[in-house]
């Protein structure tokens, strides 16, 4: 996806800025653990623990192999669990990268509120999402995303198959909807620190 590599790498940089000693960092919907590893190498504070959670057993198993091969010193725990019912506690950093878009709309506020509750004051949420736009901007963003896929070697068939696979599963929302909900969930400052076409990443501070 456009901007994915930068989002992963900068999640490590942001973790370095916000991680506090003796706290937990969470990578919610961690998939293969790319952000878990980036945070592991970005953390400078002592005695931190990173908890990566995904409800796909295959993802967690593969992530475990990558973590085992990695030489980072920060403790990592991987859990196969549903992030919508998982307790977040004593957190200084939470990453939710390209996952909220797959959670049912009516559960999104509840999840973000649980994250805000589990973050210590001054803690940070990194929220990365595919978003949608007003009618005048949407066609241009769609075109650029399509150009990105073609430039990265996807065939027209692959593009069509991917579109139908995520239709009705990935439900994007506008930036104003995201920011309003983050505030409602209990976050103070919210900034968009990154955007690449229709993929954005926000930093929300409790």
Ligand X SMILES: C[S@@+](CC[C@H](N)C(=O)[O-])C[C@H]1O[C@@H](n2cnc3c(N)ncnc32)[C@H](O)[C@@H]1O
For the annotated binding site for S-adenosyl-L-methionine, the residues are 4, 29-31, 54-55, 82-83, 97
* Least spacing, CB of residue 43 vs ligand X, in Å: 17
Check residue 82 for interaction with ligand X (CB under 6 A): yes
Q: What is the DSSP letter of 162?
A: H
* Least spacing, CB of residue 108 vs ligand X, in Å: 11
Check residue 62 for interaction with ligand X (CB under 6 A): no
Nearer to ligand X, 54 or 116 (CB): 54
Contacts of 155 (CB under 8 A, 6+ apart): none
Among 92, 50, 84, which Cα is nearest to 70's? Answer: 50
Contact 52, 95 (CB under 8 A): no
* Least spacing, CB of residue 86 vs ligand X, in Å: 8
Region from 69-77, 95-103, 152-160, 172-180 binding ligand X, contact rule CB under 6 A: 95-103
Select the residue interacting with ligand X from 16, 45, 49, 56 (CB under 6 A): 56
Contacts of 68 (CB under 8 A, 6+ apart): none
User: Which helix H or strand E contains 57, and what residues bound it?
Assistant: helix 57-69
End-to-end CA, the chain: 28
Q: Which residues bind ligand X (CB under 6 A)?
A: 8, 29-31, 34-35, 53-56, 59, 82-84, 97-99, 102
């Amino acid at each position: 996806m456009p901007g994915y590599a930068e989002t992963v790498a900068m999640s490590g940089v942001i973790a370095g800025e916000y991680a506090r000693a003796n706290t937990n960092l969470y990578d919610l919907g961690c998939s293969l653990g790319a952000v878990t590893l980036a945070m592991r190498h970005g953390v400078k504070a002592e005695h931190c623990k990173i908890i990566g959670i995904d409800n796909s057993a295959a993802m967690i198993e593969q992530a475990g192999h990558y973590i085992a091969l990695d030489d980072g010193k920060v403790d990592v725990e991987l859990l196969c669990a549903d992030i919508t019912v998982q307790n977040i506690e004593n957190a200084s950093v939470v990453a939710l990268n390209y996952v909220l878009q797959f959670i049912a709309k009516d559960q999104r506020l509840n999840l973000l509120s649980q994250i805000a509750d589990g973050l210590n004051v001054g803690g940070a949420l990194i929220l990365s999402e595919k978003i949608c736009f007003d009618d005048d901007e949407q066609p241009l963003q769609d075109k650029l995303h399509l150009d990105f896929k073609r430039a990265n070697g996807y065939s027209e068939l692959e593009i069509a198959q991917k579109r139908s696979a995520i239709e009705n599963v990935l439900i994007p929302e506008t930036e104003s909807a995201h920011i309003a909900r983050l505030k409602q969930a209990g976050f103070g400052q919210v900034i968009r620190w990154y955007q690449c076409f229709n993929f954005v990443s926000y930093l929300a501070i409790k």
